[in-house]
Amino acid sequence: MRRHLAWLFFLGCSPTPAQKAPDIQLPIFDASAVQIDAGPAPVSVTVFLGGAPEPGVLVAFQDASGAVLGTATTDKKGTASRVLPAGSQVTVLLGSAATTLAIYTYVGVEPGDALAVVDPTVAGSLVTAIVDALPPNPPAATATFLGHIGTCTTYFGQTPAAMYAWPECVNNGKFPLLVLAQGGSGPPSLGYAFQKDNTITDPDAGTASITVSGNWSTTVGTWTIDASNVPTSATVSASFAEIANGIPDALAGVPPASFETHPGYADFVQSEVVASFPPGNIADVQMASIATRAPTPALDGNVTIDLGQLLPAITGASADFATDPARPTVSWKTGGSLASADGTFVRVDCMHTDDAALQTSVKWQLVVPPSATSVQVPALPPEADAWTSSGVGLYSTPTVVTVDGLGGYAQLRKLAATVPPPDVTAKTSPPFIPPLPKDGTVRLTLYGPSPD
């Protein structure tokens, strides 16, 4: 609506002489005193694929009961957002029937949350790293070289040599290379050389070319991991990881276990002890672990992890598809309260059957508050039909993982994409806890299906 301002002029004769208009004192405007209610901050979620933002991903926003409030698709920055009441849910739908399907749900979000999801549905390509040259004059008696790109390893005798790395050994296109010089009988190493911050030089071919500069070092240290207060029913293992470029290079052993250190290589180190317990179901796994991150040792170091500080055990998990096939409920039992932990990851694997009777597996992961002992998956919008369970049901025990040591549930929501829970269906050996974001200790307790 246009506003019109009318000026009225009165013309006439007056015996009164013209008067000077009085000075007008305008009030002083103090902007700091004005309180503007901007309303609650939106909840945002950003989706990443191969380290880059992924646009066009369907995101559903639900209330605390799981009812759909609305949908959006991620923009060119990979982000979708909406103003939500405290306690709402956000669900990200990934993949397609032509690839694989995955769903991520955050339960109990708060205004201002900035969440993140890494899309696992598109398998990364195998990276071929060509080691063009090593430093001259390797240690005396060197018979072979063992190259490490994280936990992806290759023996070779001379350069140029080809190494192969799975996507998990390459962090967003950047990765380290550690080369160990070994004698004819294998470890311990005679010396080492390394090159960090390597990149994929030909993205189309998935290849990298590396020339290791610097010199060989023959100063190899030792890191020892021990465990105290081991539960009588537990089988324990230890792992030590030197982490560079965000990628762990880990080895496992039985505590007290000793591991090589390579001063100058790692950005930080992480030690972990895993305690495995007899599960209630022979087809399942029940375990707990404690991991601690520390600065890189100058040479030698040691840590003793107190298993008396393990979180209470998760002793069983099940899923109910019968009551509401489209919205199954996962429940779990614990040997003690986990309400003071940071939060819980729940993963349920189910099947989707389309109109042509073709079945596709759907992996649904939920991030839930630590006080929960059950969670019902939220409702999905009509446009998410490709991800909706048809009621075929669960084909393995749900995985339930409770974590503590990251700083509370709000921090767990923030870090869920970068410190994900272990996938026990694929991982058969430690480390189970991924690289921690800062020095400190994290505890984990888990129940899930056996990978065997």
Distance CA 188, CA 220 (A): 9
Distance CA 155, CA 107 (A): 46
Question: What does residue 355 show for φ and ψ, rounded to 5 degrees?
Answer: -65, -25
Residues 138/251/270/222 CA torsion (nearest 10 deg): -50
Is the CATH number of domain 43-118 2.40.50.140?
Answer: no
At 36 the pLDDT is 55
Cβ–Cβ under 8 Å, residues 116 and 79: no
Does the CA dihedral 48-49-53-55 come out positive or negative?
A: negative
Token code pair at residue 317:
């998990």
At 352 the pLDDT is 66
Domain boundaries, the chain: 43-118, 127-211, 220-452
Q: What is the pTM of this model?
A: 0.85
Pick the closest to residue 389 from 364, 366, 425, 367 (CA basis). 364
Segment 117-127, tens digit of pLDDT: 999 887 667 88
DSSP-derived 3-state class of residue 167: helix
Segment 338-348, tens digit of pLDDT: 999 999 999 98
| Mean per-residue pLDDT, 196-212 | 87
Strand 268-277 with 235-244, pairing: antiparallel
Strand 343-353 with 399-404, pairing: antiparallel
Q: How confident is the model at residue 355 (pLDDT cuts 50, 70, 90)?
A: low
Sheet holding 374-376, edge to edge: 314-320, 329-334, 374-376
Segment 4-23, tens digit of pLDDT: 333 222 223 334 444 444 44
Segment 128-170, tens digit of pLDDT: 999 999 999 999 999 999 999 998 999 999 999 999 988 778 8
Segment 293-326, tens digit of pLDDT: 999 999 999 999 999 999 999 999 999 888 888 8
